[in-house]
Amino acid sequence: MSTTTSIRGRQASPAERSATRADRSARRRRTSTITTYVVLITLALVYIYPFLITIATSFKGDAEAVAQPLSLVPQTWSMAAYDRLLLRSDFPLWFRNSVIVTLSVTFGRVLIDSMAGYALARLHFRGRSTVFAGLVAVMAVPGVVLLIPKFLVIKQLGMYDSFAGMIIPLLADAAGIFIMKNFFESIPHSVEEAARIDGAGPFRIYWSIVLPMARPALVTLVILSFQGSWNELSHFIVASQSRDLMTLTKGVAQLASGALSAGSQYPIKLAAAAVMTIPVAVLFFVFQKRLMNVTSGAVKE
Amino acid sequence: MALTSRRSAQGTAAAAPSPSRRRTSRGSGSRGRETVAGWAFISPMLLLLGLFLVIPVAMAAWVSVSDWTGRGSPLASSVSFVGAKNYTTLVSGGGLATQDFGTALRNNAWYVVLVVPLQTALSLFLAVMVNRKILRGRGAFRTAFYFPSVTSSVAITVLFLFLFAASGAVNEVIGALSGSGPNWFADPRGVLHLLLDALGVHQSPAALAGHGFVGISWWDWLAGPSVAMSVFITMAIFTTSGTFMLLFVAALQAISGEVEEAALMDGTSGWQRFRYVTLPMLRPTVFTVVTLGLIGSWQVFDQIYTGTKGGPDKTTLTPAYLSYKSSFESQQWGYGAAIAFVLFAIIVVMTILQRSVLRESDQVPRRKRFVRSVPASTTDQEQR
């Protein structure tokens, strides 16, 4: 960066003749482009190399993992970590539980958020602005602060240590409602008007006209909900304790502190980390463009 | 965000006046039907948010001023009101609870002080680099930088436990550069103390050792993050910079090329253009990123739970983890809830401070703000 700056700085001087100037500025631009590439590629390596190490190490033996933590190609390929993880541990159960919770939460959120978002954007009813103000206030409460309180309520409701207790509280999602509300506000009124003249009621309009139009926003919501609930840890810690209800995040966190393995058996831990990353990674690469736009869209709104 | 959406709602209503007028002129039957439908549509949301956000907060508020020990219901008649006792014990009791709380606050404060500026600067840098128009493969770079943000904090922590192990990848790299790395996750020494030690200050000045704040001495406050905590700081920057980079990229793309071109015509250098044109226009985004960063970095929990459980020597203890630990492990629910509320207060105060600055900068019209930040001489030329 600093080299680019100083070179460009000289460009400002008006004394130079135009021919040499054009020549120089072209050379300068080339240097700066190369610098940019070098910096970016180095940084990209720093960001991606750890993930490559994860995958490589998961195929190494214990001794090699410690002896050669940097190499990307195992000297002796070993499936021991995966063998232990997938065939002789609770890992598949954790995976199943995570799938159940994630799918339920995603489905529930899509339904609840889109209904609430539609009502807040389009239906006129008394108390709407009060509800909206409340929603904004509620959004400000940080999640970690709610850990203990949520546990208290879940226990009180008799949902502790059950799928219900793990799923239902996660359905409360103010941010998703915002996304849907913003989207519904962008749909022209005329669409609903036509249906209303034909005598369709609010639910009919929502279900068969507005919701199908909302596909882009729904995809966004699905991605965010899936990623959020798949990666959730703290809620599962306070909502359940039995082994049968262990999710991936909770299970792997215990693995990290040495649950399955005596000593530091890195291959098995990293294999677990790699496998638990796969679903989110797939989702990420499939919907990459949209995911990038989601985050950027949030600012403009 | 709330303000903007409300404004846009009004905007659409104004742009299409006829349907809204028709709606109001219609009979009360349709109006009534819409009210019923409206409440029916938001009832699941109200129920969920009420049950799992509003009631929990109220209940935790009660627990934080009670002596509940985790047995039975906190609302049972055997649980009694103890006033602000839990809070005063935490903040000025002088016992172990105070010491732990002070340590947790110290650790997290250093975490925030380092993570927020560094992640903001790095994400801005990445965004500017990635946004260069001549660059090929911009998408690939963006993907690379964003990928750590989508993976779970548990997986990343497991990875970092390996990378920063005593004989891990990082120490191997340091070794190759003919240095020797510390045993990262087992090293409780404060980074600032290490620095002072290297400068020849081996012991605390009496003034700092004798006095303190929330149970620990000023000298301990000035320890800086421990070596172990520094790894978590690095990890936070690594995982969040991608998300914030995307926010900056969006903002950069919203800046019109004309503005930059005009500055280019004035013969400014790349750095000047960035410093006096681009950066002032990015100010709203910078504030958003800092606010989000502040809120996020006071809530360190997953990493600590997965990685160090507060060790070594309590130097990675954070208020969020301490709150969990005192409640679920030590059964001191009153303390746990009180810590959560203090944490809440810290976050709210930080956000309000941030917001007030943000509002200030929002009140200045976009154009004027741009002009104000440019040095006087340039401004005059541009105005004429």
Quote the pLDDT of residue A277.
93
Share of chain B above pLDDT 90, in %: 22
- Interchain contact B29–A (C-beta under 8 A): no
Range B36-54 average pLDDT: 88
Alpha carbon of B69 to those of A127, B335, B358: distances in Å?
40, 10, 42
Q: In angstroms, what is the C-alpha Rg of chain A? A: 26
Quote the pLDDT of residue A178.
87
Looking at CA atoms only, how far is residue A113 from chain B in angstroms? 7
Q: List, run by run, the mean pLDDT of 10-residue segments along chain A (301 residues).
A: 45 55 74 85 92 92 84 87 88 94 94 92 86 82 82 88 93 87 86 83 87 87 91 92 92 78 76 93 82 50 33
| Interchain pair A257, B269: CB under 8 A | no
Binned at pLDDT 50, 70 and 90, residue B192 comes out as confident
The B residues from 177 to 236 touching A (CB cutoff 8 Å) are: none
Task: Dig out the tokens for A134 from the structure.
Answer: 């409340």
Looking at the partner chain, which of A66, A123, A178 has a beta carbon nearest the beta carbon of B34?
A: A123
Residue with more model confidence, B382 or A220:
A220
Range B312-317 average pLDDT: 90
Binned at pLDDT 50, 70 and 90, residue B6 comes out as very low
Q: Which residues of A are less than 8 Å from B37 in CB distance?
A: 119, 123, 125, 201-203
Quote the pLDDT of residue A116.
92
Residue B213's beta-bridge partner residues?
A: B216
Quote the pLDDT of residue A294.
53
Residue with more model confidence, B201 or B192:
B192
Q: What is the DSSP string of A96-163?
A: HHHHHHHHHHHHHHHHHHHHHHHHHHH---TTHHHHHHHHHHHHTS-GGGGHHHHHHHHHHTT-TTSH
Range B240-267 average pLDDT: 81
Average pLDDT, chain B: 79
Query: How far is residue B262 CA from its own chain's centroid?
Result: 36
Residue B376 pLDDT > 50, yes or no? Answer: no
Binned at pLDDT 50, 70 and 90, residue B29 comes out as low
Quote the pLDDT of residue B182.
86
Share of chain B above pLDDT 70, in %: 84
Looking at the partner chain, which of A32, A185, A255 has a beta carbon nearest the beta carbon of B9?
A: A185
- Of A24-33, B47-56, B100-109, the range with the highest mean pLDDT is B100-109
Q: In angstroms, what is the C-alpha Rg of chain B? A: 26
Residue B367 pLDDT > 50, yes or no? Answer: no
Say if residues A150 and A86 touch (Cβ distance below 8 Å). no
SS3 at position B81: strand
Q: Which residues of A are less than 8 Å from B159 in CB distance?
A: 50-51, 53-54, 270, 273
